[in-house]
Amino acid sequence: MKLDAYIRKRLESSKVLVMTHLIAGFPSLAANWEMLEEMGQAGVDLVELQMPFSEPVADGPTFARANQHALAQGLKLDQYFGLMEKAAKTYPFPLLMMGYYNTVFRLGHQAFCETLHTRGGVGFILPDLPVEEYGDLFAHSQRCELHPIMLMAPTNTDERLARIGRHAAGMVYAVARKGVTGGKTELAGGTYDFVARCRRATDQPIGMGFGLRQGEDVRRLQGQVEVAIVGSALLEAWERGGRPAYRALLAELVAART
């Protein structure tokens, strides 16, 4: 099933979906699997698996530190894809690769798409790759039935949003505010005006992330976007209170879907 069709089907029983995020190798692969177990039990709708990178330009301090830790522990690309493949065979939620273009460049566009597809991914998010630089990555994605998830930002002009929207597949990722991940986002009129601009640029489902931290944030996005994306807050919950705190936040986020 295509990602946009999956999202619309899930929305028949929820007012908004929840997409969660983890960084492979932080704090360990074993802990990652426990996180995925909790996501599966909570019933999240989609999951981003981030491949660590040394210069994660879109990530705030929490994620940047986690990236460095995972790399220092020696996480390898094959371990990342091993985690993805195991999760894809175990859980029903679609998996998106999140990472930086360096990984794709090292593998080559064709090899990257073929590997991601065979290891269970349905798409990818590359926040440092402008739409003009995708080249044949679009063609290889289509051939491998992958969704390149485009980012739309409040600083984009309407013309640029339209250009991004022409390449959107599966969903788009609307960045809730300027800056990097992690900081608190106040969901208000300006944010919803931005969502309206995105709607005019694409007919794909819209996910919104950057700064969503609690169930109330998810609830406020009901009727505004199709997917609420939560990452840093979950990682911080794990660091603060381990698996019980992680489980509690997941339950709060999922409960806010309806």
- Residues designated catalytic: 48, 59
Sequence-distant (≥ 6) Cβ neighbours of residue 158 within 8 angstroms: 197, 200, 201
Q: Which among 148, 150, 87 is positioned nearest to 119, based on CA atoms? A: 87
Strand partners, 22: 49
Q: SS3 of 169, please?
A: strand
Which residues, at least 6 apart from 175, have a Cβ–Cβ distance to it below 8 Å? 151, 152, 153, 154, 208, 209, 210
- 125 neighbors 95 (Cβ within 8 angstroms): no
How far is the C-alpha of 169 from the C-alpha of 4, rounded, in Å?
A: 8
